[in-house]
């Protein structure tokens, strides 16, 4: 990603340190997030990142304090809450008024009108983020329209506009997602008369979501009158999206057999009924004990959300390039589970 000219959007000091370790120049890093700690803000200021996406007035005062301490002018974008709804799970809607994110337009107006009181904070742009897994471009166009009206009202000409991320990917074969080129064209058309110098987008899921799969081993096949269960060695601790968001992931057998179709819930060994990877999955052939199943679309918001629940070590990660493969994260050992405990 770095070698292709991309930057990084971070929401914690840990993510910022990870981006720096990966070689991203600080000038290509944006620090977002609704709850930045003072030490995290200071770390960003010291490292000279591109900008902060600011979520409230108190945060601006902290940034000003560290700008004064290090004698640095610090670029900031105000994160607006445009009160735009999107068709996605309620947990990942981030642009509605009732959500914790962003600054309401009335407060943002007050901040902009009083911005001359800051010596080191330079409010140069605006930011919004509507949510995740958005399948068409219309919410972005609506939000951009609201931003334009806001800028006209308060006589503010932003140099930077960060329209966030959330551009969706197909998780099902029949998912209809706006083509990325259409998305780009309509966004650019809506901004032609806006005069910004820099447009920032955060297409993380689009880049990596369908680039990863989870491979699990079949432990048992439990057939019942009302429902069948394929019990595998991966659970909600490895991939929590189905339990957390009721998300759908296509699941396929790694090996086709000549034993007929089966419809089954794919479940793990965790001690909760909510421990499932898929419900009523229709397999073209019935997996048997020792077979492997492949959970598709596991590249985004999967491993990073994994845990050691039920004292289960997390799996390894393997990077595949053509016929070459490399372990890029080692499988955890049992002793890793209690390392650091006393």
- Residues identified as active-site: 271
305 within 8 A of 241, measured Cβ to Cβ: yes
What's the token pair of residue 54? 């600011």
Q: Is 271 exposed, middle or buried (0-12, 13-18, 19+ CB in 10 A)?
A: exposed
Distance CA 191, CA 290 (A): 54
79 within 8 A of 129, measured Cβ to Cβ: yes
What's the token pair of residue 337? 């589970």
Count CB-CB contacts under 10 A for residue 38: 12
The DSSP secondary-structure symbol of 235 reads: -
328 within 8 A of 317, measured Cβ to Cβ: yes
The DSSP secondary-structure symbol of 25 reads: -
49 within 8 A of 31, measured Cβ to Cβ: yes
Residue tagged 């009158």 (tokens): 225
Distance CA 195, CA 198 (A): 9
Alpha helices in the chain (DSSP H): 13-21, 38-47, 57-70, 105-113, 138-154, 180-190, 204-208, 241-245, 334-337
Q: How many CA atoms lie within 13 A of 272 on its CB side?
A: 12
94 within 8 A of 130, measured Cβ to Cβ: yes
């Amino acid at each position: 990603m770095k070698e292709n000219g991309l930057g990084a959007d971070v929401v914690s000091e840990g993510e910022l340190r990870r981006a720096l370790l990966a070689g991203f120049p600080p000038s290509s890093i944006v620090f977002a997030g609704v709850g930045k700690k003072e030490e995290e803000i200071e770390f960003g200021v010291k490292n000279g990142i591109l900008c902060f996406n600011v979520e409230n007035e108190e945060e601006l005062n902290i940034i000003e304090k560290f700008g004064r301490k290090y004698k640095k002018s610090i670029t900031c974008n105000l994160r607006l809450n445009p009160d735009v709804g999107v068709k996605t799970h309620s947990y990942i809607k981030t642009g509605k008024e009732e959500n914790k994110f962003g600054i309401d337009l009335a407060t943002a107006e007050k901040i902009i009108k009083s911005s001359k009181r800051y010596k080191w904070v330079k409010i140069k742009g605006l930011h919004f983020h509507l949510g995740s897994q958005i399948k068409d471009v219309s919410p972005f166009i609506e939000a951009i329209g609201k931003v334009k009206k806001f800028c006209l009202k308060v006589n503010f000409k932003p140099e930077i506009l960060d329209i966030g991320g959330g551009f969706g990917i197909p998780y099902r074969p029949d998912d209809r997602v706006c083509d990325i080129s259409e998305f780009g064209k309509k966004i650019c058309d809506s901004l032609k008369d806006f005069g910004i110098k820099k447009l920032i987008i955060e297409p993380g899921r689009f880049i990596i979501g369908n680039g990863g799969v989870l491979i699990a081993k079949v432990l048992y096949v439990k057939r019942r009158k009302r429902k069948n269960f394929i019990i595998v060695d991966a659970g909600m601790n490895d991939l929590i999206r189905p339990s957390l968001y009721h998300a759908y992931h296509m699941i396929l057998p790694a090996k086709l057999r000549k034993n007929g179709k089966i419809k089954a819930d794919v479940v793990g060994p965790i001690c909760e009924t909510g421990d499932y990877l898929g419900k009523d999955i229709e397999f073209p052939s019935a997996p048997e004990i020792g077979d492997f199943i492949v959970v598709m679309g596991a590249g985004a918001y999967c491993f990073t959300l994994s845990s050691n629940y039920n004292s289960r070590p997390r799996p390894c990660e393997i990077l595949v390039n053509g016929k070459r493969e490399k372990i890029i994260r080692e499988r955890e050992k049992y002793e890793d589970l209690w390392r650091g405990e006393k």
